[in-house]
Amino acid sequence: MKKTFLIAFTAALFVFAGCEKKAPSIPPTEDSSQFVNLTDAVPDAILEIRYYGTYNFVGARIDGYEQPTALLTRKAAEALKAVSDDVIAKGYRLKIYDAYRPQKGVDHFVRWAEDLQDVRMKPYFYPDLDKSVLFDQEYIMLKSGHTRGSTVDLTLFDMNLEKEVDMGGTFDWFGPESHPDFCGNPDTGEYTGDNSKSPATPKRSITPEQFANRMILRKAMLSHGFKPLSTEWWHFTLVEEPFPETYFTFPVREL
């Protein structure tokens, strides 16, 4: 990987997980007064905080995750409660992988991406990619919308089957298979089976049922004020986020 911090900063300020590239105009802050514990606002949510454990693309606990909990701005949490009520009526619960992410966590991702020798989790999260392309293809960036506090990574849990809903791919899979438009049109909900963007040989695909499951989550989130990301079926940001230019630095722990 020949990219350096100097090149990265002169080119642009990047953001992990598909967020904007411009530098924030408001200084980072430790102020957590407008945040809540996600499960206080959404008591039915199930937490599986991947960055507190070791089953994630880094393979280690991420800096800044001091407790296996999730935090959100109060406004985002209130909107997520409406989503939760919606999916509960359909027999599901929300399962949360990540919410607010402190800047030191993003910095940890950057250090990991620069260490091209550390590929211990490659078979599980990026088998089709050489690690050297993670910056160029914007899988790893210097800033994240999660750090603004109104973005959440999540899936559905089926209460009748007592297991996580099959979305056809794992959270944080680096590849087009994670895109909402993989094998279908997310705007219309139509399954097309088009797996031409998959780099695997033979190419990977998801089933009509797996695509439909992604659309259940997407529809519920969009119906209650969240916007999707074009590259991750699990990632949603509150449209009217209260801190669109503020990046927070306090750790993830119970408030």
138-179 per-position pLDDT tens digit: 999 999 999 999 999 999 999 999 999 999 999 999 999 999
Confidence band of 16 (pLDDT split at 50, 70, 90): very low
Residues labelled catalytic: 232
Q: In degrees rounded to 5, what are phi and psi of residue 212?
A: -60, -35
Region 109-137 average pLDDT: 97
Cβ–Cβ under 8 Å, residues 45 and 55: no
Residue 18 has pLDDT above 60, yes or no: no
Q: Are strands 151-158 and 184-185 parallel, antiparallel or unpaired?
A: unpaired
Q: How far apart are CA 45 and CA 77, in angstroms?
A: 11
Query: pTM higher than 0.85, yes or no?
Result: yes
Percent of the chain scoring above 90 in pLDDT: 89
Q: Which amino acid is at 23?
A: A
What's the pLDDT score for residue 109? 98
Mean pLDDT of the chain: 92
Q: How far apart are CA 30 and CA 233, in angstroms?
A: 30
Residue 15 has pLDDT above 50, yes or no: no
Please state, as a whole number, how many other Cβ atoms lie within 10 Å of the Cβ of residue 6. 8
Region 113-134 average pLDDT: 98
Q: How far apart are CA 100 and CA 32, in angstroms?
A: 11
Higher pLDDT pick, 7 / 143: 143
Query: Using CA of residue 18, residue 234, residue 65, residue 27, what is the dihedral sign?
Result: positive
Question: Structure tokens of 111?
Answer: 């250090």
Residue 61 has pLDDT above 60, yes or no: yes
Q: How far apart are CA 166 and CA 191, in angstroms?
A: 16
Confidence band of 25 (pLDDT split at 50, 70, 90): low
